[in-house]
Structure 1
Amino acid sequence: MREVCVIGGNRYFGKRLIARLIAAGDRVTVVNRGSSPPPAGAVHLVADRDDEESLLKALGSRTFDVVVDQVCYTPRQAAVARRVFAGRTRRYVMTSTVEVYEYEDSLAPVREDAVDPRTVPVDLELPWDDEEFLEAHYGEGKRQAEAVLAADPAFPYTAVRVAHVLGGTDDFTGRLDHYASRIRTGAPVLVPTRNHPATYIHVEEIADFLAWAAGQDFTGPVNAASHGMLTTEELCEAVAARIPDAKTVFRRVQVGEVSPFSFTRSYGMDNSRATALGFAFGHTKEWLPRAVAETLGKGN
């Protein structure tokens, strides 16, 4: 039986990950601030992961086979985790994001080496505790968090760069609901003049991937994305299929706010590394109708 620590992870694909680990026979310890309990069967430790002393006190003398960090958003958080879990875990899995590629603009899907965390500058003095700053610099925060873990690693680690996640009745983002609302009323869906496709992954598939990655021994960044990129038009088509007499109206704009999942640059990730390592991804076209049905609350 493995000892697994999950930091955060009490909603969306995090809670699915925890359920999978428990079902596989792992002893799972969940660390969070106590705002919500973990799934049944997990050990619950209450601590503020930003507070090094709080985290050390909560963990006590516990050691783990693997830590899965679902809520590492800044280099400061990564630095705390690096100090706290050094000598305490055999493996560290950080949930990262496709947004680390925000400065790349390749029409071809990007590979992991497009952003080498060992070359990313780290600035711990930036206002990472400011919520507005952090929201505006989400991708950069993740890039620098990866960089902290990659610099003279204190433990073997991998950073899972997650594509845009869709599906589930508990999708809290409201992004597909945005499309449904506009399609129902005939309001225009605003997209950039040049609107690029992106890579996606189903909520169940990313939970599967993280559970799988926890048991592997590869290190460094890895992209997690289903096969097949999707355009905004394809997303809207799938949403419209669930709405009687639907009419989708697109309006292309050169400046200003656009609808979710509309991109002025390519957000495609190459998933060949993970595939070669042994994970079998599904295809977006296969699960998209299901994801839309789940999110809009109309069954499978």
Structure 2
Amino acid sequence: MNRVLILGGTKYFGKKLVQLLLDKDIEVTIATRGKEKDEFGNRVNRLIIDRMSRESQIEAFKDKSWDVVFDQTCYSPQEVKDTVEALNGNVKRYIFTSTQAVYDFGLDHKEEDFNPYHFQFEYKTRMEYPGIYGYQEAKRAAEAVLFAQADLEVVAVRFPMVVSKDDYTERLKFHVDKVLKGEPIGIPDMKVGFSFILADEAAQFLFGIAQSSFTGPINPGSKGSMSLEEIITKIERVAEKSAIIEKELTKENASPYGMPGTFETNTEKALSLGFKFSDLNEMIDELITYYVKNK
């Protein structure tokens, strides 16, 4: 792997991936809308694209080739179809950032619990997939398009919730802040939970799986899942304050983790390939402690 294209790469673990690649003296090209500044200066190449415009990608990718493409910004089957056609066979390996949300709610989901090869869909744009169930269908359909490409080595990385001290979404921090301020948190079901992965480990996984010979869908992340009830209990212990939980949701109190059900993925396949992930309890404890101490 000498030359890579990253669709995205200017936010969160995308930036961490870029840095990992640069540290290994790999030539990196970032393709974005050009609206987000990055910190990489002249160490990266930059292309301007619009994922909803096939023509912009054809123009940007013309007469260029890469060993690997990391797709961080696809939210519809039409987008990935346009991208594959614009690349026109000039990339060998396609690493797609997918999501645990391709599964239905439930526990211990293995990769085969959603089979993209048999998924029926229509070509739609991202604007035609509203809400959480639209997001699920969009990512499922995007995987289906990619795995139908016979001339591409495709990996669909089904990420769980990504967390870190520098998480710009502040979804976990939201709960810590509410407890510290004595403000209510809107949670319809405290038993709902998720699998998680550290942002640094997400970037490391993308880097590692790109260099492997593995193809297919794969679940990275810490083993198991953690419920909102467990998260709130941990926050209460560290903050030494009781949480105020309300079932009625408002714009101000609604938990960003307030999903209708649990997403838990089985990571045995990733572990069997030699990847290692942080212990879930230790990871969440450390993050909560950090947020409390740096309030």
TM-score (norm 1): 0.87
| CA deviation after TM superposition for structure 1 residue 293, in Å | 4.9
CA distance 1:296–1:2, shift in 2 (3 Å): farther
Shift of 1:58: 1.6
Structural mapping, 1:115-134, within 5 Å: 115-124=114-123, 126=124, 128-129=126-127, 133=130
Aligned partner of 1:288: which letter?
I
Match of 2:262 in 1: 266
1:222 to 215, 218, 221: 218
The question of whether the paired residues in 1 share the 8 Å contact of 2:51 and 2:57 is answered with: yes
Take 2:179 and 2:190, find their aligned partners in 1: how far apart are those partners?
A: 21
Q: Contact 1:228–1:283 at 8 Å: present in 2 too?
A: no
Q: Per-residue CA shift, 1:55-85, capped at 9, x if unaligned? A: 1222231111100000011000110122122
Structure 2 residue identity aligned to 1:290: E
The correspondence of residues 31-180 of structure 1 with structure 2, limited to 5 A, is 31-40=31-40, 41-101=43-103, 104-106=104-106, 108-124=107-123, 126=124, 128-129=126-127, 133=130, 137-169=134-166, 171-180=167-176
Is residue 195 from structure 1 mapped to residue 191 from structure 2 by the alignment? yes
Q: Answer yes or no: is the 8 Å Cα contact 1:167–1:292 preserved in 2.
A: no
Answer whether contact 2:190 2:229 (CA < 8 A) is retained.
no
User: Against the structure 1 CA distance between its residues 50 and 213, is the aligned structure 2 distance closer, same or farther, given a 3 Å change threshold?
Assistant: same
Q: What amino acid does structure 2 have at the position aligned with 1:19?
A: Q
CA contact (8 A) 1:86 1:154 kept: no
Give the aligned residue type for 2:243: T
For structure 2, which runs of at least 5 residues remain unmatched after alignment?
none
**What amino acid is the match of 1:36?**
E
More strand by share: 2
Alpha-carbon distance between aligned partners in 2 of 1:251 and 1:37, rounded to the nearest angstrom: 39
Q: Note the C-alpha offset of 1:127.
A: 5.4
Which whole-Å deviations, capped at 9, do the CAs of 1:100-143 have from their partners, x for residues lacking one? 11xx243x31001110001111211x45335x726661111111
Distance in 1 of aligned mates of 2:60 and 2:273:
35
Residue in structure 2 matched with residue 16 of structure 1 by the alignment: 16
Bigger mean CA deviation after superposition, 29-38 or 109-118: 29-38
Q: In the superposition, relative to structure 1, how do residues 263 and 52 fare at CA in structure 2: closer, same or farther (>3 Å)?
A: closer
- Alpha-carbon spacing, 1:65–1:127, altered in 2? closer, same or farther (3 Å): closer
- Root-mean-square deviation (CA), in Å? 2.6
Name the CA distance, whole Å, in 1 between partners of 2:158 and 2:31.
22
Cα gap change, 1:150 to 1:42, in 2 (>3 Å): same
Structure 1 residues 87 and 240: alpha-carbon distance in aligned structure 2, compared to 1, 3 A threshold:
same
Unaligned runs of 5+ in 1: none
Return closer, same or farther for 1:112/1:236 CA change in 2, 3 Å cut-off: same
Whole-Å Cα distance in 2 between the matches of residues 115 and 31 of structure 1?
A: 29
- Separation of aligned partners in 2, 1:50 and 1:215: 29
The CA distance in 2 between the partners of 1:290 and 1:196, in whole Å, is 21
Following superposition, the deviation at residue 295 of structure 1 comes to 5.5
CA distance in 2, matches of 1:185, 1:39: 34
How many residue pairs end up in the alignment? 292
**Seq. identity, %:** 28
